[in-house]
Amino acid sequence: LSRRASSFGEKEACEIIRKIVAATRYLHDHNIVHRDLKLENVLFTGKEDDSELKLCDFGLSDHFKSGKHMHSTLGTPYYIAPEVLKGDYDQKCDCWSIGVIAYMLLSGTPPFAGTSNQEIMDSVKLGKFDFSAFEKGISAQAKDFIRKCLSMDVDERPECDELLRHPWLNSEEHLAAVSSPVNELVLGNLVNFRKFSALKRIALEVVAFSLEPSQ
């Protein structure tokens, strides 16, 4: 984000999310679920504004069969879907994580927070969030996109194909109308949260790999 700090706003966030959804759809089309989509696992190929985006870190990814559920409880607390915490989920857990990423790109804060991993996961299980952290000017389409991604009802949560057809990712008109960039406070929050996550990354991976599902 530092390379776009002077102009980063909803339009730029939308472009990033569109690429993340497209990459995730490619994975799902090949029966691969990532299971750890988060800001740290989104890289750019260069410093140019139009540089390509890539997903990385497939350490928690797995092959899945359509209609079959997975049961291993793993992931990163801020981004993990509630059904993963219950140990019964499918590839739509990635779509939940995309909603979290979109929320964070537009606000600089996670939709589900807490002072400990347990508090964060308890917040995820409740699934309650609001847009109080958002700056004025964020479009209704962006909020609707996030609501759909963060649907507690997995059957109601769109798959990547449907997300790619969502108006937020397909209408340049409303993005042109949103002229105000994300403010410096949001950018500062994103940078600080990124640093915080990096410090805790090893610990979170140990938790993800070592604890029993019931824990």
87, 71 Cβ separation under 8 angstroms: yes
List 55's β-bridge partners, or say none: 42
Residue in the structure block whose two tokens are 């997995």: 154
Q: Which string of b and e fits 143-163 if b means at least 16 CB within 10 Å? A: bebbebbbbeebeebbbbeeb
Identify the residue whose tokens are 């209609």: 67
CB atoms within 10 A of CB 107: 22
Q: Is 36 a catalytic residue?
A: yes
Alpha carbon separation from 121 to 79, 114, 189, 190 (Å, rounded):
9, 8, 21, 20
DSSP-derived secondary structure for 32-54:
EE-S---GGGEEESSSSTTPPEE
Looking at 36, 57, 144, 155, which residue is catalytic? 36
And the tokens for 145? 């996109």
Q: Would strands 53-55 and 42-44 be described as parallel, antiparallel, or unpaired?
A: antiparallel
Question: Which SS3 state, helix, strand or coil, does residue 62 take?
Answer: strand
Please list the active-site residues. Answer: 36
